Amino acid sequence: MADYILQVKGLCKSFGAVQASQDLSFGIQRGHIHALIGPNGAGKTTVLNLLSGELQPDSGSILLNSEEINKLPVHKRVKAGLGRSFQITSIFNDLSVAENMALAILAGRGHNFRFWKNAMAVDIVQHTLTEALARVDLSGRAEQQAGRLSHGEKRQLEVGMALVGGPQLLMLDEPMAGQGAGGTVELQKLISGLKGTTTILLVEHDMDVVFSLADQISVIVYGHCIASGSPEEIRRNSEVQNAYLGEH
Amino acid sequence: MILFIEQLLNGLQLGITLFLMSAGLTLVFGIMQVINLAHGSFYMIGAYVGATVTVFTGSFVLGVMAALAAAGITGMAVEILVLRQLYDRDHLDQVLATFGLIFFFNEMTRIIWGKQPLFMDMPVWLKGSIELLPGLVYPIYRLAVIVVGMSVALLLWYLFSRTRLGMQIRAGASNRDMIGALGVNIKLLYTLVFGLGTLLAGLAGVMAGPIFAVESGMGESILILTFVVIVIGGIGSVRGAVVGALMVGLVDTLGRAFLPSLFRTFLSSSYADSVGASLASMSIYILMAAVLIWKPRGLFPSYN
Amino acid sequence: MTSAIPKTVIIIAGALFFCSLPWAADYFGEQYLISLFTRILIYSLAAVSLDLLIGYGGLISLGHAAFVGIGAYVTAIFFHHSFVAEPIAGIVAGSDNALLVWPLAIIISAAFALIIGSLSLRTSGMHFIMITLAFAQMLYYFAVGLEKYGGDDGLSLYSRNQLVGMDLNNDVHFYFVCLFFLTLFLFISHRLVKSRFGLVLRGAASSSRRIKALGIPERRYKLVCFVIGGAGAGLAGALLANQTEYVSPGLLHWTLSGELMVMVLLGGLGSLFGPVLGATAYLLLEETLAMYTEHWMVYFGPILIMVVLFAKRGLFGFLTQKE
Ligand SMILES: Nc1ncnc2c1ncn2[C@@H]1O[C@H](COP(=O)(O)OP(=O)(O)OP(=O)(O)O)[C@@H](O)[C@H]1O
Ligand SMILES: [Mg+2]
């Protein structure tokens, strides 16, 4: 029996006439890097939004560690072990890089109704901030306003913030998009370094990256999951060839 | 019973005025995503220009026409000069800039027309009352307001559900990205929608002229009621504006008319009057809070 | 362009100016300056409390005057009942003791902020602006309906509150009391925005999506911010009632909310000391323009639009930033 960290059963979601998810079912095994691929507008981001709780499914269920999380709001799902990065970079543009990371560190440490002590002087921030920034190569940028980082650096920061909370399942929505070649290699290294410790759901268009990193791949086309399996199986799958990979 | 029907008609009349105010504004909110505090100014402009032209020409109809033109044209000018710069700004900038517009328009009317309120006469052919039911005598003018408002509502309904332009506007109000996709000249459409909104506000203003005093700042109290209507109805929804306006008009009017006497049945009379009156003036806000708890995005929320 | 002036220099200069003002006024024989600047201090306090909401919490409240008004009315009603020696609603004795009444004004304003905030924060964006405005207006009409306390005409206090060791009826004493509270509130706010709470708040204002994705239920933090802002405004209201020895529904009117917002923007959003500059500039400008023309608003409106469109950083930003 495989050990599934996340299972999705019969998930449906439509926006008016657009059926963005149609009866999706798949499972993600603990410790795997599970890639979600599909053409533009196939419904990949919608899946992440459904999993994270930003969207409510019309029907179907989502199980995290065998417990239903359908009803939980976004922040409770994070507490339950989900972390993510967004396709459209979403960091705190008005705060400094260090403050961004500090906030990510503090988020998972009880409540933040502490009104007097400087947040940056809190012990846990002092202890972990340097390392957390170094992990995503942003040590030299700590005092910079995050909104002024380059596109690639923003991406790194976002992934770093998602990582620092120690999620059980990390969902990354096209983390390589807009990265230069160097950035892609760096991120790829970072992600493969997480293999085994953090389960990752990776949405990515770069097929080289996907096939070199993923343990499992699910292919989504028009909201349907048309195939799910190991990279080898997916490569051989004729339906996938026709619907998707053939285009490239 | 007679009294009740009379108050019902009064409530309907207030509701219709509010509908004229909110129909345009809710579209401006919905399509352009701009919060416009100066909408009441066009109500005021309509009333002032209407009153002045009526006195000057002796014709109420000309007065109304002038009011519509003045409100519509000023509105389009304001859209081009100020609002257009605000579409990409955050709501705070929009609030402050349109707050500045209010300062300007209120003071401008004081400079032009002085501090004293104007009083606007009804036309002779709308003076007097008729007996609607045995014992129910109702002013003709107020009936006329109701009829005009309902006709405008029908006209708008036709515009929005039967014409191409209307559908584009509606599509834009419920889903902003749609408009660009339809290949419409957005700038022009925005100016037209804004002008239509201010024209309706001007109509509401000139029709209110003979009922209330025409004075500087008159737009603000109606503006806030309009906001309540839009919050209840849902931003960007004309249907919501209809329902919200009628609810607010009726609750406010009936509350003021009957709450004090309702309280008198179980409280001492002087106390009942003051509690009743206070509560009546708060009733629509309580209504709003109730709707909010039930449906935070209003009765007819749009997709945005 | 102009070289930047360090923030601390501006703040120290400001502090020196405000501290020495009563002596300067005395020296030049312009006693009215003391009461003008007392008003400036009080409005500054209200503007700083609004800056916490708008500049740090991203909460564009157009109903902040309501809390100023509540603070003022609490003060006035307690005074009135102690003056006529009749308990409030037949239960609570009135009082003119500042140490009792001012904390009450703060608490009651905060309580109202809690109720209004928890309803309004169910929404966001344009809805939030309109709803805060509507609730404030509701309280305005409520005040108008308070026949017992003067209704439309308002209520006079005849004298300022009693404060041990001080004579508040002495304008200089009162000036320094106001300066003290403004400084205190500025200091508290300064700590607040740098704290964990403040970091979460600023984060939520910057990206509500990311704050949720970090697992933080942002609404609670915003609500607490709204309450703290309401409390500050309540204190400003209590002081204002003392300064003018008079309260009226006008204190709750939305134009005051708008004016406070203008002060915040004029001084510099999210800078705490900025709103003090903003309130000073606004009230002095009003005072000066009003000397030349009674129609000063006709100039002020377009000035405001220009500031919004072209000078958004405000005075404080202008003074402290390069580029
Ligand atoms: N909030 C929304 N409202 C309406 N339609 C939406 C919404 N979100 C997504 N859609 C639609 O759902 C479909 C799937 O969108 P989704 O963003 O999930 O695709 P995707 O696979 O992530 O595409 P991409 O590779 O371009 O990121 C698209 O047709 C999109 O237009
Ligand atoms: Mg996507």
User: Residue B165 — very low, low, confident or very high, per pLDDT cuts 50/70/90?
Assistant: confident
Q: Any idea of the CA torsion for A162, A165, A170, A172, to the nearest 10 degrees?
A: 0
Ligand nearest to the CA of A42: 1
Question: What is the separation of C-alpha C178 from the centre of its chain, rounded to a whole number of angstroms?
Answer: 12
Section B188-201 average pLDDT: 92
Out of A12, A13, A15, A173, give the residue to mutate to test ligand 1, the one with the largest number of ligand atoms within 8 Å of its CB: A15
User: Residue B181 — very low, low, confident or very high, per pLDDT cuts 50/70/90?
Assistant: low
Identify any residues that bridge with B118 across adjacent strands, giving them in sequence order.
B214
Residue A60 lies in a domain: yes
User: Residue A238 — very low, low, confident or very high, per pLDDT cuts 50/70/90?
Assistant: confident
Residue C228 has a pLDDT of 98
Q: Which among C195, C211, C214 has CB closest to A114? A: C195
Tell me which of B43-47, B169-173, C32-36 is least confident.
B169-173
Write phi, then psi, for A37 (nearest 5 degrees): -125, 165
* Domain limits for position A3: 1-81+168-181+198-248
Q: Is the confidence at residue B289, as pLDDT, over 90?
A: no
Residue A248 has a pLDDT of 47
Residue B268 has a pLDDT of 75
Count up the domains in chain A and report the number.
Answer: 2
Q: Is the confidence at residue C143, as pLDDT, over 60?
A: yes
**Is the four-CA dihedral C263, C266, C268, C270 of positive or negative sign?**
positive
Contact partners, residue C16, CB within 8 Å, separation at least 6: none
Count the neighbouring beta carbons within 10 Å of the beta carbon of residue C299. Answer: 16
CATH code, domain with A174: 3.40.50.300
Write phi, then psi, for A28 (nearest 5 degrees): -120, 125
Residue B132 has a pLDDT of 83
Kindly state whether residues A8 and A63 are assigned to the same domain.
yes
Chains that touch B (3 or more CB pairs under 8 A): C
Section A25-48 average pLDDT: 93
User: Residue B296 — very low, low, confident or very high, per pLDDT cuts 50/70/90?
Assistant: confident
Kindly state whether residues A140 and A20 are assigned to the same domain.
no
Kindly state whether residues A74 and A172 are assigned to the same domain.
yes
Ranges of each domain in chain C: 7-320
Rounded distance between C-alpha atoms, residue A208 and residue A81, angstroms: 29
Out of A11, A19, A45, give the residue to mutate to test ligand 1, the one with the largest number of ligand atoms within 8 Å of its CB: A45
Per-residue model confidence as pLDDT tens digits over B20-41: 999 989 888 888 889 999 999 9
Residue A241 lies in a domain: yes
Count up the domains in chain B and report the number.
Answer: 1
Kindly state whether residues A126 and A175 are assigned to the same domain.
no
User: Residue A104 — very low, low, confident or very high, per pLDDT cuts 50/70/90?
Assistant: very high
Q: Is the confidence at residue C163, as pLDDT, over 50?
A: yes
Considering only CB atoms, which chain C residues are within 8 Å of B102?
A: 301
Kindly state whether residues A176 and A228 are assigned to the same domain.
yes
Chains B, C: CB contacts within 8 A come to 124
Task: Say whether residue B35 is in contact with chain C using an 8 A CB cutoff.
Answer: yes
Q: Pick the residue with more confidence: B42 or B274? A: B42
Section C22-34 average pLDDT: 90
Residue A214 lies in a domain: yes
Whether C154 and C246 have beta carbons less than 8 Å apart is answered as yes
Q: Is the confidence at residue C285, as pLDDT, over 80?
A: yes
Residue B275 has a pLDDT of 77
Q: Is the confidence at residue A56, as pLDDT, over 70?
A: yes
Q: Is the confidence at residue C1, as pLDDT, over 60?
A: no
Q: Quickly name the fold that domain C7-320 has.
A: ABC transporter involved in vitamin B12 uptake, BtuC (1.10.3470)
Rounded distance between C-alpha atoms, residue B279 and residue B269, angstroms: 15
Kindly state whether residues A245 and A213 are assigned to the same domain.
yes
Q: Letter for the amino acid at A178?
A: G
ipTM: 0.89
Kindly state whether residues A37 and A148 are assigned to the same domain.
no
Section C175-185 average pLDDT: 97
Quote the mean pLDDT of chain B.
Answer: 88
Quote the mean pLDDT of chain C.
Answer: 92
Residue A189 lies in a domain: no
Residue B183 has a pLDDT of 66
Whether B227 and B288 have beta carbons less than 8 Å apart is answered as no
* Domain limits for position B81: 2-216
Kindly state whether residues A159 and A45 are assigned to the same domain.
no
Residue A188 lies in a domain: no
Tell me which of B102-106, B243-247, C236-240, C289-293 is least confident.
C289-293
Section C26-37 average pLDDT: 91
Residue nearest to atom 2 of ligand 1 (CA): A15
Residue C323 has a pLDDT of 47
Residue B176 has a pLDDT of 61
Residue A185 has a pLDDT of 84
Residue nearest to atom 4 of ligand 1 (CA): A15
Whether A66 and A5 have beta carbons less than 8 Å apart is answered as no
Percent helix, percent strand, percent coil in chain A, to nearest 5: 40, 25, 35
Whether B194 and B75 have beta carbons less than 8 Å apart is answered as yes
Q: Is the confidence at residue B282, as pLDDT, over 80?
A: yes
Residue B252 lies in a domain: no
Q: Is the confidence at residue B225, as pLDDT, over 80?
A: yes
Terminal Cα-to-Cα distance of chain B (whole angstroms): 44
Task: Write the DSSP string, chain B.
Answer: -HHHHHHHHHHHHHHHHHHHHHHHHHHIIIII----TTHHHHHHHHHHHHHHHHHHHS-HHHHHHHHHHHHHHHHHHHHHHTGGGGTTS-HHHHHHHHHHHHHHHHHHHHHHH-SSPB--PPPGGG-SEEEEETTEEEEHHHHHHHHHHHHHHHHHHHHHHHSHHHHHHHHHHH-HHHHHHTT--HHHHHHHHHHHHHHHHHHHHHHHTTTS-B-TTHHHHHHHHHHHHHHHH-TT-HHHHHHHHHHHHHHHHHHHHHHHHHHHTTS-HHHHHHHHHHHHHHHHHHHHHHHHHH-TT-SS----
Whole-structure pTM over 0.90, yes or no? Answer: yes
Atom of ligand 1 nearest to the CA of A55: 1
